[in-house]
Amino acid sequence: MNWKQEYSALRDYIANNPEIIINQTEISVPQTLRDEFYRRFDDLRKAVVEDHSSSLAVDYNSLSENYLEIEKELMDLLELEGIQMPVDLFSFVHNPNEGLMRILYSRTFDLLQGKMTLEAYENQAGIDLAAVAAELFRLGYEQWAALVLIKLLDPDRAFLVDLDEDYKPFLAELKTIAFGRQAHHPTMRIPEFVLYSRKLNRYVAVKMMPAREIETFVVPFKPAVRPRKKTGDTSFALDSRAMLLSFMSGPEDIPVIADIYELKRTSPDWMMAYISNDELDDPAAVDQIHRNMTAMNPTHGMCLVVIGGDIEGRPDCIPEGISAVSIGFDKSRLQTVVDLLAAKIEQG
């Protein structure tokens, strides 16, 4: 059935069960009827997603297929229990239609409550699905590319970075990878995990931080009082992230990327960030990338992964010191990036 037929079937079910109360001020579904009600409710949302799927500008099924592949490879390689991420993104990359259904929950109740007409619901659903699909595709793609790069570093073991009682970082057992979820500290920014790369023949500290927060690592004045609250990228935010890699001389050489209270910052050895094909034509977006690189000053430069489209050569708008690559879902193109990085390290 199409979504309007599913809607009619759900309305008939509600009408045939007067114990269900849904109006503009109240929603009440008796426990004995909830399973069937929500099965029909979900069928409606699923039909709406399917009806709009052909109009969405992103290939989320290819993303899901490629993401599930690299997730399994990395979990098997490092003997991980899982790779965690915010629930909306997790749902989207594991089951795209189910992930998109989530955003229609409130809108669909608005329709049932008579707060929206069928036409308004259809139009708004299309707008919501297009916006959320584009955002989640980008974030899922970023996650995929970061995991592929980690896999290409050929790690044979990985460790959680934790803090001792004196707030000194140390390596501990790593059970799950969760980009952005570092050991809590109000002002210190440390890697989430460390891996041993056979490709680079050294320990590599990995920090995945919100791109919009990079400039906050460089502050002009020391706070009068050390902040106590949880701040910055210790959160598990649904946000675009940049990858910072720091090469360690040994397992105890764990970098503190920044301490905002102490006004200290340690430049990473390499960075990877993301930009959409459309953003290449946006001077503000390109300038933000340049400012982020300047703030962190990575020793071996920065790689910019272009999302969408296919670029030929290096775009003129990209500042010096930043390479750009469009990889689609072709891992070999990212392999070239890793090979160049390994060559730079070899040359010293």
Query: Taking all residues of the chain, what is their mean pLDDT, rounded to a whole number?
Result: 91
Return the domain boundaries, the chain: 3-143, 147-347
283-329 per-position pLDDT tens digit = 999 999 999 999 999 999 999 999 976 777 677 788 888 999 999 99
Distance of alpha carbon 101 from alpha carbon 107, whole angstroms = 11
Among 84-88, 192-196, 237-241, which stretch is predicted with the lowest mean pLDDT? 237-241
- Residue 157: phi, psi to the nearest 5? -160, 160
- Residue 224: how many CA atoms within 13 Å on its side-chain side? 0
Strands 169-173 and 202-210: unpaired
252: pLDDT strictly greater than 80? yes
DSSP 105-127: HHHHHHHHTTSS-HHHHHHHHHH
Distance of alpha carbon 291 from alpha carbon 242, whole angstroms = 13
Q: Whose structure tokens read 């599930």? A: 68
- Residue 161: phi, psi to the nearest 5? -100, 120
132: pLDDT strictly greater than 70? yes
Instruction: Provide the residue count of the chain.
Output: 348
Q: In the predicted model, what is the mean pLDDT of residues 325-336?
A: 92
Identify the pLDDT of residue 219: 66
Give Cα 99 distance to the centre of its chain. Answer: 14
- Residue 24: phi, psi to the nearest 5? -65, -15
Confidence of residue 232 (pLDDT cuts 50, 70, 90): very low
Tokens of 40: 């029909």
Q: In the predicted model, what is the mean pLDDT of residues 164-169?
A: 90
Identify the pLDDT of residue 167: 87
Confidence of residue 225 (pLDDT cuts 50, 70, 90): low
236: pLDDT strictly greater than 80? no
pTM over 0.85: yes
Q: What are the Cα distances from residue 302, in Å, to 226, 247, 331?
A: 32, 15, 18
Q: In the predicted model, what is the mean pLDDT of residues 35-49?
A: 97
